[in-house]
Amino acid sequence: MRRPQREIEESASRITRRGLLLGGATGAFMAVLAGRMRYMQVEEADKFRLLAEDNRIRYDLIPPNRGLIFDRVGTPIATNEQTYRVVLMPEDVEDLDHTFALLQRLIPLTAEDITDVRKEIRRAAPGAPVTVADRLSWEDIAEVAVNGPTLPGVHPEVGLSRVYPRQGDFAHVVGYVGPVSDYYLSKIENPDPLLLTPRFQVGRVGVEEKQEAVLRGRAGNKQVEVNARGRVMRELERADGDAGRDVQLTVDAKLQRFVQARLAPESASAVVMDVDTGDLLAIASAPSFDPNKFVRGISQADYNALTADDHRPLANKSVQGLYPPGSTFKMVSALAALEAGVVTAGETFYCPGHKEVGGRRFHCWKRGGHGWVDLHTSLKRSCDVYYYELAERAGIERISAMARRLGLGEKFDIPMSAVAQGLTPTKSWKAQRHKQDWVVGDSLNASIGQGFVLTSPLQLAVMTARLATGQGIAPRLVKSIDGVEQPVINGGPLGLGPTTMTQIRKAMYAVTNHQGGTAYSSRIIAEGMRMAGKTGTSQVRSVVVRNEDVPWEERDHALFVAYAPFDRPKYAVSVVIEHGGGGSRAAAPVARDIMLQALYGELPPLEAYPKKQHWEIEQRQKNLPLGLGEGGPGISDRA
């Protein structure tokens, strides 16, 4: 059946309109495509020419600047310095042997260095650069840059490296940084990609380690174009990270320098603490070492010298060292007995030079005895028998509880490595540890700071500060982070009777200011700066012989604790000199000099000392090595 002419015309009209619409859409699409092609081929020709064929994009991490460390007044302790280094992109190097051979002609590069670099290459993540040489001179880095076309995959760079301008003064406090090890990474579940960068450095000990999260910062990244030979053509994008935050410590660099110098050449430690805030103004361990050697890569010879040294320069004796406190513990025993009401301050005991208990004789340090003594005299002359009597009455549980109340046996939360807890023994502790019952003799030994009792110089300084103030102050090492003050920790009043505390303090004053006191020769005579203290001598051997008759390592440790000024305490000081002999002879003079330096803020005047000692003090002050430098005070001369 033939369709009507009108219907045919209408159908043709519809087809024509559809064709026009489809043709128009196709034309528009082609116009857009042609425009885009022109834009890419003409306007963006340079960009895509670089990205074509032999070019590619690489993403690199930008290590953040490590935060700085300052002392309490802003003196730099740990800083960063600009260094030149050569890095290598392993996948861009066709012949490693040839590349190393060329580099050896241009920069100092030993066979041992090359071996280490090969190890780093095997360990490095794909696409990660490997440092070939660091701390190069400008001349060396310029040689590499000039010869760049013949060294595909090798790039000269400018970076930052850690520096410790005070050298050995803060080696045990601040510590040092070092490369990330496999063991370090094994302890982290999801390590920061920055840690996978070969030879990236992190804190290894001390504040550098404990404040790593604060000091490290956050890495940035950059997008660069490199050609087939691994040479960077240009930087496309950059996203800077966040620099590490700065840390200000409570220590005083000037006082710390003096303490390190005064301790030399002994194997010793000292702590200076603000009794009101708990700020650690100085915390020194001698001998010390130069931490810069560890940052740069310490030689095997230098490291062996440090580990072989019998004075143990690598050990942080101020917080890690544990020693029997000797007679510096007697204030603890006295407080325990007085607070328990088992003795009064005026009650006397007779000291014939020993005490018989269970068929065993416990000796006093003075073989002839002290005669009749009360609390005041017992501390002033350090009578042992008096404290044997207290121990029998008070018992070890009360003595240990008082020790913990004063800060002994407590692991303080400060950012230093290997902070020791110490030991305040109890009956249950001995039963668990040694599978033995506690006996009376154990209590007698503990009452004079011997036997199982162990304390650190830091704990002794805390104990002294609490005795001086009656407050549960705790040590503080970090003053501020990026200018934000860190809290002072004070547990509040110790709850000890004021009359009891007054008796203890007066007796400590007598130790250094009354004739017959064990530290009378180390007194301070300057008005308003008088010192209260206590000597201590802790045995390191069971057989009692003269220190002069045995080798150095078998001699007694010398201890002294003190606070000053007596009427308005500001600072507490503890000093431990390993194998120094008697506390009154070896440790007390050192503690007095340190205390005076803290009080005056500079070398104290001779008028602060007894007149008969002026010439001796003047000569000692002249000979104090207070300058910085390799082999200076506090740096082991054996290394």
Domains for the chain: give ranges and CATH numbers: 58-249 (3.90.1310.10), 253-623 (3.40.710.10)
Cα 577 to Cα 634: distance, rounded to the nearest angstrom: 14
Non-local CB neighbours of 617 within 8 Å, separated by 6+ positions:
606, 609
Non-local CB neighbours of 249 within 8 Å, separated by 6+ positions:
69, 70, 71, 72, 77, 173, 174, 207, 477, 478, 479
Over residues 448-494, the pLDDT tens digits come to 999 999 999 999 999 999 999 999 999 999 999 999 999 999 989 99
Q: How far is CA 215 from CA 39, 117, 432, in A?
A: 47, 27, 42
According to the per-residue pLDDT averaged within each range, which of 9-18, 20-29, 32-41, 559-568 is highest? Answer: 559-568
Q: What confidence score (pLDDT) does residue 40 get?
A: 63
Over residues 21-59, the pLDDT tens digits come to 676 677 777 777 777 777 666 666 666 555 554 567 766
Q: What confidence score (pLDDT) does residue 186 get?
A: 80
Non-local CB neighbours of 243 within 8 Å, separated by 6+ positions:
64, 65, 66, 67, 217
> Nearest to residue 343, comparing CAs of 382, 424, 399, 423?
399
Q: What confidence score (pLDDT) does residue 192 get?
A: 79
Q: What confidence score (pLDDT) does residue 629 get?
A: 43
Task: Tell me the pTM.
Answer: 0.85
> Nearest to residue 175, comparing CAs of 300, 66, 310?
66
- Sequence letter at residue 157: E
User: E strands, 55-151, where?
Assistant: 56-62, 69-70, 76-88, 130-136
Is the pLDDT at 76 greater than 50? The verdict is yes
